[in-house]
Amino acid sequence: MFRGPLKEKLHYWVGINLVLASHLRSAAVVRRRFPSISGVFTAGEAGLRSLGLDAREAKALASPGLTVRAERLVERLGKQGVEIVTIDDEAYPEYLREIFDPPLVLYCAGDIRLLKEPAVAIVGARKPTPYGRAVSEKLAHDLAVRGLAIVSGMARGIDTAAHWGALKGGKTIAVMGSGLERIYPRENKRVFEEIERKGVVISEFPPDSPPLGFHFPLRNRIISGLALALVVVEATRKSGSLISARLALEQNREVMAVPGAITSDLSRGTNWLLKTGAKLVASWEDVIEELPSPVREAVNQRGEETLESPPALDSREEKIYGMLRNDAQKHIDVLVEESGMSVSEVLSLLLQLELKGVIYQNPGKYFQRKL
């Protein structure tokens, strides 16, 4: 718990964040021009305008009520167990501090120690193919079980699959494009809660910030900034994931991509990345090869020690499992027809296979095998 001068300093950082969370240029000016952050609150409106801040920003920062708002927010979040990490804290992730425009404040729900761990980012399409979803989940699991944190944006599709895959084998970091109190998309409330329990969810935006469209490109620089490498699983040529890839290159991170079918629109972005020099990823080993030697050695030393044996299946489960593919989905009606079993029997077996973690159900009663 912060006390005395440290707590006062935290109030200053949170106050600045309440005004400038979405204004990276102005935030950079404030950080550069005020070695002692308290100076922002004594500069006055005219002084802040003279530094290049616009009228609204200067007026808001000069408001006498701003620090009071910040104090109340810090107190409320403390009661909720949310930790606040500022850019001058020891807990602030070093890789993120190195980027051109690091966030001044991170609101964190979960274990902030994870922010210091070596990490790989996995991003991609919000409406992936069954193949893309399976690849994302398996790749995240295979890397997480070997001690790497998996970073993604908690969006629908590839991001969510990567988080779930990581949670089954290790740790994950979710970077939100809204505040922690505005979970987006809403259906990801469960994954938010699981990550809060087993990893950490972070946001640079104040807790009540809505998921505004321009927040997500800002969020992307944090996803890549936290990681040693960024892997794109599926993406169109106009995908936001390609923005993440560009940011990763600017941050001197390794950029990698999973190849896809040349006939699929969701492969155009990833295949373009491969044509322009991204590392091709077909397995977790391909990712590890490009990481710094200390990290690579630690992963290799860990080896297969923590890998779980596949669950045992009985003959009936084996039959249904053998009818499914990992790169395509199959409807329940087809499974019933091909198996010769009743609907209730097939549904019961599918449920058992889901509980054993070897298949998952897609919308519309479609099922697929995990990689």
Q: What is the pLDDT of residues 323-361, one digit of tens each?
A: 998 878 899 999 999 999 999 999 999 999 988 888 878
**Edge-to-edge strand order for the sheet containing 119-123?**
83-86, 105-110, 200-203, 172-175, 149-152, 119-123, 229-232, 254-257, 279-280
- pLDDT value, residue 169: 86
- pLDDT value, residue 308: 60
Backbone angles phi, psi at 297, to 5 degrees: -65, -40
**The one-letter amino acid at 371:** L
CA pair distance 41, 174, nearest whole angstrom: 32
Q: In 3-state terms, what secondary structure has residue 237?
A: coil
- Check whether domain 112-302 has CATH 3.40.50.720, yes or no: no
pTM: 0.88
Residues pairing with 151 in the sheet = 121, 173
* Burial state string for 185-194 with b = 16 or more CB within 10 A and e = fewer than 16: eeebeebbeb
Sequence-separated (6 or more) residues with CB below 8 Å from residue 195: 110, 154, 163, 167, 172, 173, 174, 201
* 347 neighbors 367 (Cβ within 8 angstroms): no
| Pairing assessment for the beta strands 330-331 and 366-369 based on DSSP bridges | antiparallel
Predicted confidence (pLDDT) per residue in 312-324, tens digit: 899 999 999 999 9
CATH of 315-369, one of 3.40.30.10, 1.20.1250.20, 3.40.50.150, 1.10.10.10: 1.10.10.10
Count the residues in the chain. 371
- pLDDT value, residue 358: 87
| Regions of the chain where pLDDT drops below 50 | 1-5
Domain boundaries, the chain: 4-79, 112-302, 315-369
- pLDDT value, residue 304: 53
* Burial state string for 55-90 with b = 16 or more CB within 10 A and e = fewer than 16: eebbebbbeeebbebbbebbeebeeeebbbbbbebe
First to last CA, the chain: 44
Q: What is the CA radius of gyration of the chain?
A: 23
* Six-digit token string for 28: 């950079």
Describe the chain by its helix, strand, coil percentages, rounded to 5: 50, 15, 35
What mean pLDDT value characterizes the chain?
A: 93
